[in-house]
Structure 1
């Protein structure tokens, strides 16, 4: 994307996506997805780190879409968010690089070939579910319906509103608050583990 999208059109897409319009969300991802990948490539991230940054960027967009001060500048906000996530990934990778043992670096770099990958995924998932269990039952139910049990990874706001007995317009803000709390629990767990 070149950043030349008409600002009114982008603001309308944001408004529709916040209101639960799946087609608007898909359009946002379609418009800005290449920009996110290009940013990941510009930082020369590994394939695995680039995939993580891509997903984390879209999670941040999803969490903050309804609270953007200037929805028309969504593209710039996404680019900044992706750069910040890429820098976090680079710092993490730098901390994990062994010094003086270059033979450890001579291994396959593909994410599917890394022998530790299943253990890292299991550890990440355990941390996530542990934090998830700390959420209120309402937040657990909302996130389960909108994220975990979403068909094909895409939540149906109509279905969620019916199951949760909530107005469609309150699903996004509720989900956002629950995700913020989940992130806080995850951050506490990471900081607590390092202490």
Structure 2
């Protein structure tokens, strides 16, 4: 016999991003005001920024992508079907913004900024190995290993089947292991 999960009517429905993974308040995402929206996404800004950096955006472009994604999310909040998918929906918007920035022609005098903020300075070989991964594998690995998303959430974010996400994670780990073992052998 299957048990049903109880739904508590007084539980907050705004499932965003404070340290307890909940915002204070009982309004849903679509009914929130500007101040509540800003408070809730403020805690998530660093995570969004790291996703952009994993996609090889430099600091300025990563900040632009995060700002544009937050602006689009706020303007289009009514298109969100269920409040519980807010985080996934927001990261999907961010990935689209980051890809749009990557498609833009680059300025010739702009230096490449290849530092990844979530990897300590002394771990350049790990950073280089992560940056050498193909984009889809690098994104899946970053979302899973660094940001803590589940395979199912990554599948929703990347609009890929769960099996594909698992395969990309395995390939990314295998490539990282191979790259790091080659470096140690040298």
TM norm. shorter chain > 0.5: no
Q: TM-score, normalised by structure 1?
A: 0.41
